[in-house]
Amino acid sequence: MDKVVEEVEKVKKEWDETCKKTQEHIEAIADYGKSARAKEENNSLARLNGIAQDGLALLSSFLFTLDLLAPQLPSEPEVQSTRALLQSSKTLTQNLRLNLRNANLQAKANLRKAAQEERELLLGGGEESTVRRRNLQTKAGMTSAAESITESLRRTR
């Protein structure tokens, strides 16, 4: 097999692997903040974004390499096939960039929603907080009644 053909096959394989990993990172970004423990997650949003950006840069470098190797292929059908693959790969890379942008928007929306839910719990917007408030009021009422009884008993002595 020709060295150029081998190199093209190697680049195609690496491109496929990098593309899959980048898609996984983009999906992780889109899911970021959905769990209540967003701050406890292993990868921060900035780190996931960095990894996804690195993957996209690597994909672009593979496309550049493929573009350089395509004219050097031994037969015209291989050249045409590689150029067609190059075009579809460029389109896929652009789609990945768009997906990354949408994933970041989704992650920010997830974080906003999680923060709002936490705020509602803390400020008493939910059913749990109503129960908590009632319990506290009941305890305060019982404490107040006990104190007034104790005070009146002290006065009677």
Confidence of residue 22 (pLDDT cuts 50, 70, 90): very high
- pLDDT at residue 38 greater than cutoff 50: no
Q: Does the pLDDT of residue 136 top 90, yes or no?
A: no
Total domains present in the chain: 2
Distance CA 97, CA 91 (A): 10
Q: Are residues 86 and 115 in the same domain?
A: yes
Cα–Cα distance measured from residue 106 to residue 86, given in angstroms and rounded to the nearest whole number: 30
Query: Which of the four pLDDT bands, split at 50, 70 and 90, describes residue 41?
Result: low
Instruction: Clarify whether residues 83 and 105 are in a common domain.
Output: yes
Rounded-to-integer distance, Cα 33 and Cα 45, Å? 9
Structural domain boundaries, residue 39 = 3-123
Considering the domain architecture, whether residues 106 and 140 belong to the same structural domain is answered as no
22 burial (CB, 10 Å; 0-12 / 13-18 / 19+) is buried
Q: Tell whether 34 and 103 lie within a shared domain.
A: yes
Same domain, 88 and 131: no
Q: Residue 26 carries which side chain, given as an amino acid letter?
A: I
Cβ(46)–Cβ(101) below 8 Å = no
